[in-house]
Amino acid sequence: MQDHHVERLHALDAIRGYALLLGIVFHATMSFIPIYSGLLWPVHDLHRSDALSLTFYVLHTFRMMLFFIVAGFFGRLSLGAKGRRPWLIDRLKRIGLPLLISWPIAWGLCSGIYIWGAMVMRSENNFRRHLWSGLPEVPFLHLWFLYILLLFYVLWLGTIALADRHPRARDRCAAWLDRLVACSVRHPAGVLLLAAPMTLALWLTPRWRMWFGIVTPDRSLVPPLSSFFIYALAFGLGWFLHRQRGLLDTWRRRWLPNLAMAMLFTALSLWIVGLKARSIPVYDDTAKAWYAATYALASWFWCYALMGLALRYLDHNSATRRYIADSSYWLYLVHLPIVMALQVAVASLDWPWWIKFGIIMTVGLGLMFASYQYFIRYSFVGTFLNGKRQREPAHRIVYESPPRAAAPQGTPQQ
């Protein structure tokens, strides 16, 4: 998904790659959550895990918000480098076509795995909810983020085109939003500017299952308003951060206190809702309000902290991190059927959960990275997803001539 024709920002590239990899971890935990009713998943493991349930909970508070912040930042960066029409064509090619091609394949494979999971569990499962029931019901699976990104791109370009008709109002509005974003980042209490609207969106969510946080917009062409608004807020923050890149330094300097606040509000959220996963909707408006506020603050502080942590320690070139960033898009596109199949394969084994989870992650990531390295990285698919790259000969460093004179004996040549 990285555009190699624009500047490469190592810290933000790393964040985007790791956010997608955390998505693989996130889905790998789901068969171990100590709940089944209401959870749309093909199988539930014989050995449940509170630790993996907590991992699922924490990852869901920030993972996709963090991704959309970076997507907004890089979106404006790429738009400035390409221009509107080429940028939209590029987004349709790199986002729209992978969605169009990957979705029917993933849906077919996952549908078969749901049937297999029902056979393993020997009980009725939620497979029927996974089938078509009219145009509004489209099971996007893990690819929903591509659909949401496309909606953001189209809406953003439409907003820009409309604003260009009224340049004075556009400039005043942009200046006001710049001040708002700067305050949200620089002021110690500025996070409230983002947490307050997110709190309201969560509180207004119909039949909100509080423990599961932000509703995943994966089942309809018309996404839930609350989650669409929250992710649009994150995308917009990233977009306007690119207008004031100096604000990133504030996050870099404050990553540790932001991390402490993220952990504090996560603990408060769990204190309110409980450690055990619950799928029952909550109708108590007071309880919903308190929980929505603590959850929103936890989410934004996690984003602030992890952005700052990456800017502090990952803001330099690394071949390993660059490889992970480049491969993460492919890994995320293909991971769900692989993870689900491995979950079904080990679900009924009487082994400890940590061994089975380790097998799912090790075998799954091994297959995904191998497929990227040997079939995707230098192929037309790799060019399609990440841009063209040249294969480096394995012997290049050994036979490369020194620039002027040979290095002294015993000194390695660069």
What string of pLDDT tens digits covers the 414 residues of the chain? 655 444 568 899 999 999 999 999 999 999 999 875 445 788 888 898 999 999 999 999 999 999 999 999 999 999 888 888 899 898 999 999 999 999 999 999 998 998 888 888 775 544 555 444 433 456 789 999 999 999 999 998 999 989 889 889 889 999 999 999 999 999 989 999 999 999 999 999 988 999 999 999 988 888 999 999 999 999 999 999 999 999 999 999 999 999 999 999 999 999 999 988 888 888 888 989 999 999 999 999 999 999 999 999 998 888 999 999 999 999 999 999 999 999 999 999 999 999 999 999 999 999 999 999 999 988 888 877 877 666 655 444 344 444 444 444 444 333
> What pLDDT is recorded for position 409?
43
pLDDT of residue 393: 53
Report the alpha-carbon distance of residue 353 to residue 99 in Å, rounded: 33
pLDDT at residue 407 in the model:
43
Segment holding 237, helix H or strand E = helix 225-243
Taking the C-alpha atoms of residue 226 and residue 214, their distance in angstroms, rounded to an integer, is 8
Q: Which residues are CB-contacts of 381 (< 8 A; sequence separation ≥ 6)? A: 330, 375
Token pair for 23? 């998505």
The Cα–Cα gap between 66 and 305 comes to 10
- Long-range pairs for 151-158 at CB < 8 Å and ≥24 separation? 151/223, 151/228, 152/68, 152/71, 152/72, 152/75, 152/231, 152/232, 152/235, 153/75, 153/88, 153/91, 153/95, 156/75, 156/239, 157/84, 157/88
Q: Is 54 exposed, middle or buried (0-12, 13-18, 19+ CB in 10 A)?
A: middle
Parse the chain into domains and list their residue ranges: 10-399
From CA 292, how far away is CA 274, in angstroms rounded?
14
Q: What is the pLDDT of residue 36?
A: 57
Phi, psi (rounded to 5 degrees) for 385 = -85, -40
d(CA 257, CA 248) in angstroms, rounded, equals 15
Instruction: Pick the closest to residue 330 from 287, 271, 291, 380 (CA basis).
Output: 380
Cβ–Cβ under 8 Å, residues 269 and 168: no
Q: What is the pLDDT of residue 400?
A: 42
DSSP 94: I
d(CA 360, CA 371): 16
**Residue 3, phi then psi, degrees to nearest 5:** -95, 115
The sign one gets for the Cα dihedral 41, 123, 280, 263 is negative
